[in-house]
Structure 1
Amino acid sequence: MKVAYVFSTTNSQKILNNMIIPQLEKDTHVAEVVGMFFFMDNTFFLLRGTEMGERLQQIHDKTGMLLMACDQCAIERNIEKDLVPGASIGCFPQLYTALAGVGVDQVITL
């Protein structure tokens, strides 16, 4: 099963850091994660030089998983130029386009 995650809540850090990332690193997540989209303060998870950002970058390098920050959220926080190299910024039209060819079975919002 191919899934994409949308991180929009304040609980996202705990779920991502303590569950999803370790599972992806150990190849025990079961579902193939083809994309992650980050809203509001969750865009900080993609910052270059942070532990979470670097871990997500390593997963991106290994799997090609899409990492995207909400463009307006990143711009409002003045971080759009400080994201890990594998991350992009965009809105839903860019997210839909980027995920169109990968066959997403389910989108999960956390």
Structure 2
Amino acid sequence: MKVAYVFATNNAATFKLGTMVLPQLEAGNHGADVVGMMFFDDNVFSLRQGDPVGERLAKIAEEKGILLMVCDQCALRRNLAEGAPESCGTGTVTAKGLVKGVVAGCFPQLYGALAGNPPDHVITL
């Protein structure tokens, strides 16, 4: 089974990802193939360069081919992306100051990025 995670609630990335999902992925006992993760609001902060959770996640994502995407508008508002606010959703906003492999985008970019390896389930945390 393939899953994608959407981190949308407060502390979802630091608590649920950092203490549950990520350790399971690292141990190889998560129970599902994770194909993508989308980060909204303050959850984008966990992907900053140097953040322990983000650095561990970047390593696992690279090994397992997991898409890591931040909401372009959320990242822009937190100075973690470059581009114009009116260009959100166009695919022209770029992530900055984030761990290796993270891209910025909105739903059109998320759908396109997962089209070649679609999840069976999307889980919002």
Q: Gapped runs of 5+ residues in structure 2?
A: 82-95
Query: Counterparts of 1:23-42 in structure 2 under 5 Å?
Result: 23-42=24-43
Identical amino acids, percent of aligned pairs:
58
Q: Secondary structure at the match of 1:30?
A: coil
Query: Counterparts of 1:7-86 in structure 2 under 5 Å?
Result: 7-12=7-12, 13-80=14-81, 81-86=96-101
Q: How many residues align?
A: 110
Q: Which runs of 4+ in 1 moved over 6 A?
A: none
For 2:101, give the aligned amino acid.
G
**How far is 1:103 from its partner?**
2.8
**How far is 1:47 from its partner?**
0.7
Aligned Cα root-mean-square deviation (Å): 0.8
Structure with bigger RCO (C-alpha 8 Å, 6+ apart): 1
Q: Gapped runs of 5+ residues in structure 1?
A: none
**TM-score of the two chains, using structure 2 as the length reference:** 0.85
In the alignment, the residues of structure 2 paired with residue 31 and residue 9 of structure 1 have an alpha-carbon distance, to the nearest angstrom, of 22
Q: Tell me the residue number matched to 2:111.
A: 96
**TM-score of the two chains, using structure 1 as the length reference:** 0.97
Per-residue Cα deviation, 1:5-52 (whole angstroms, up to 9, x for no partner): 000001402111110000000010010000000000001111111101
Q: Give 1 or 2 for the bigger CA radius of gyration.
A: 2
